[in-house]
Amino acid sequence: MPAKQPSPTERVEQLHRELTAHYGGGDDRELRAATKLLLVALDKIRTHGGRNWPSLLDEYVHIVKHDPERFARMLQSNSSSSSGELEA
């Protein structure tokens, strides 16, 4: 039986761990790794999000800031999903 493939969210989390390790014992290494991922994500949202990409970005930022339980559920639901998109 083949091994279960990690979800896209799990793969991003693994990449964050690898980036964090890359920064070694540096200050704020977790934040630096997350910032790199965020920069790439923002570029992809801008590039592929169409005309309304700023609204999409604002929606996710609003959820993170004002509804942390919903945000946690979104992350959890996408950790075992085979979909590449976050559920809103």
Q: What is the pLDDT along the chain (88 residues), one digit of tens a residue?
A: 678 888 888 999 999 999 999 988 888 999 999 999 999 999 999 999 999 999 999 999 999 999 999 999 998 887 764 444 455 5
pTM of the predicted model as reported, rounded to 2 decimal places: 0.75
C-alpha to C-alpha distance for 65 and 13, rounded to whole angstroms: 21
Q: H-type helices in 1-88, by residue range?
A: 8-22, 29-48, 53-66, 68-79
